[in-house]
Amino acid sequence: MQCVILAGGLATRMRPVTETIPKALIPVAGIPFIDHQLAWLAGHGVTQVVLSVGYRGDMLRDHVGDGARYRLEVRVVDEGTELRGTAGALRLALDQGALDPAFLMTYGDSFLPIDFAGVWAHFRASGAPALMTVFRNGGQWDDSNVIYRDGRVVLYDKHHATRPPADFDYIDYGLIAMKREVIAELVPPPRAGAKADLAPLFHQLSQRGDLAGLEITQRFFEIGSPAGLQDLERWMRERS
């Protein structure tokens, strides 16, 4: 089971810490965040990781190595200094032959305390080209962006361009499963300086009826903000 981790962003909200290190190396409970993340993936069914890096990617590559110490096989895809956006990063991984026919995808600042293998099994059973995990958010952690009904994402609209905010009860949880052909079909090869993000792709899939959904009841954690980092460290202390 393959999981792509998108970890190339500039992490401006976490400066000054991220002026010298990439976000995935921010210490959490004294250990670089990526170590927590990879250990969790390895313990929940993931065997291979594609690590998509950009900003200070050499530091992340050197730290993770080939993944053997996490009991994983890790391949690094490097955007360099010309960041391509979240969808553009997946297109680069596709063009470099790094993507399996179907894969999971998460973000380099997300800690998701759920069973990845269970999500994978649900995706395979759904028969859909893509599946989004969703969380009943009610605007608590961030702006809700998903209308979810009966195992399907009826609408994903990050900016509420097509429906009023009150219509959205759920939020993208941060773990996606999809077939490689989705990227090949819907994310064109990059043009110089152009970025492609995943939000329009998810919107298009939901409008086509091609985005299955799976509701998660365990809250997600993230280190993209100081408050998020504090929440994760508190949760880890309570579990230890």
Give the C-alpha separation, 106 to 99, whole Å.
14
Give pLDDT, residue 201.
97
Instruction: For residue 25, give the DSSP letter.
Output: G
Average pLDDT over residues 214-233: 94
pLDDT of residue 14: 82
pLDDT score of 193: 66
pLDDT tens digit sequence for 178-193: 999 999 999 998 876 6
Mean pLDDT score across all residues of the chain:
93
Ordered structural domains, the chain, with CATH: 2-239 (3.90.550.10)
Residue 192 confidence (pLDDT)? 66
Judge whether residue 96 has pLDDT over 90.
Answer: yes
What percent of the chain is predicted at pLDDT more than 70? 99
Pick from 113, 112, 106, 115: nearest CA to 5: 106
Closest CA to 68 of 24, 110, 37, 38: 38
Answer whether 157's CB lies under 8 Å from 168's CB: yes
Instruction: State pLDDT tens for residues 26-57.
Output: 999 999 999 999 999 999 999 999 999 998 98
Binned at pLDDT 50, 70 and 90, residue 142 comes out as confident
